[in-house]
């Protein structure tokens, strides 16, 4: 009889222990699930913040590139018309500036964007960086030539830059029109690549 009572007592204790174990397991699992859920919500919020920031920056950049590109196109067209008409339009120091800053994107990616954004979005982002960096490298080359050849000689007669007999740019300045066209190309590239990225970002925001 006592053995039966002891068995029942042991079974009762085991049952309570098992129930407590189940409760602990359920509690831990629930806490783990809730933590993952909260982390998921936080990541989704962070992703949307990054995408919203990029979307706004791109919209501003596209607008700026269109305006600046159109302005540069007019200047280049006027210079080429004058040159083609046999005139000798003055050369100006080659100075360039843009709102685009690759450091902005690098900072954004380092702050967690690379872990949250879709692979396709990151790919388009890298394409934008690659295209613009290439154009900027060429621009830097022409700026250096301008600083060395044009800026120090602005007080020279026009014949310093042109051959008066042919009214053509002298050899060391013949790349000047190409440099002007490169500015236009850069703005067009910025506009196109930023538009591509904007469309990808808007698509990603819709998916999430």
Q: Convert the pLDDT of each residue in 86-110 to its tens digit.
A: 999 999 987 766 555 656 665 666 6
Domain-located, residue 187: yes
pTM of the complete model: 0.69
Measured CA to CA, the distance from residue 56 to residue 120 in angstroms comes to: 19
Parent domain of 136: 46-207
Q: Is residue 27 part of a domain?
A: no
Q: For 19-23, 100-104, 120-124, which range has the lowest pLDDT when averaged over its residues?
A: 19-23
> How far apart are alpha carbons 58 and 63 in whole angstroms?
8
Contact assessment for residue 156 and residue 90, using Cβ atoms and an 8 Å cutoff: no
Q: pLDDT band at 39, cuts 50/70/90?
A: low
Assess if residue 34 is contained within a domain.
no
Query: Which of 97, 61, 66, 49 shows the shortest CA–CA distance to 198?
Result: 61
Q: Give the per-residue pLDDT at 3.
A: 47
Count: domains in the chain:
1
Assigned domain for 87 exists: yes
Give the pair of three-digit tokens for residue 88: 């000798």
Of residues 113 and 44, more confidence is placed in 44
User: Residue 174: inside a domain, yes or no?
Assistant: yes
Q: Are 149 and 91 in contact (CB under 8 A)?
A: no
């Amino acid at each position: 009889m006592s053995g039966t009572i002891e068995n029942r007592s042991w079974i009762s204790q085991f049952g309570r222990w098992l129930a407590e174990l189940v409760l602990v397991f359920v509690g831990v699992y629930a806490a783990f699930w809730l933590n993952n859920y909260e982390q998921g919500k936080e990541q989704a919020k962070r992703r949307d913040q990054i995408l919203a920031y990029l979307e706004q920056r791109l919209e501003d950049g596209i607008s700026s590139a269109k305006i600046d590109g159109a302005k540069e196109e007019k200047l280049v067209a006027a210079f080429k018309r004058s040159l083609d008409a046999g005139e000798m339009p003055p050369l100006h120091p080659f100075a360039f500036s843009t709102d685009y800053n690759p450091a902005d994107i690098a900072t954004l990616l380092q702050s967690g964007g690379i872990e949250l954004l879709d692979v396709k979005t990151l790919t388009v982002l890298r394409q934008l960086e690659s295209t613009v960096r290439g154009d900027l490298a060429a621009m830097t080359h022409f700026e250096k030539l301008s600083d060395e050849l044009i800026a120090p000689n602005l007080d020279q007669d026009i014949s310093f830059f042109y051959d008066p007999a042919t009214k053509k740019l002298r050899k060391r300045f013949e790349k000047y029109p190409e440099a002007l066209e490169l500015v236009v190309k850069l703005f067009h590239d910025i506009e196109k690549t930023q538009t591509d990225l904007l469309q990808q970002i808007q698509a990603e925001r819709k998916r999430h």
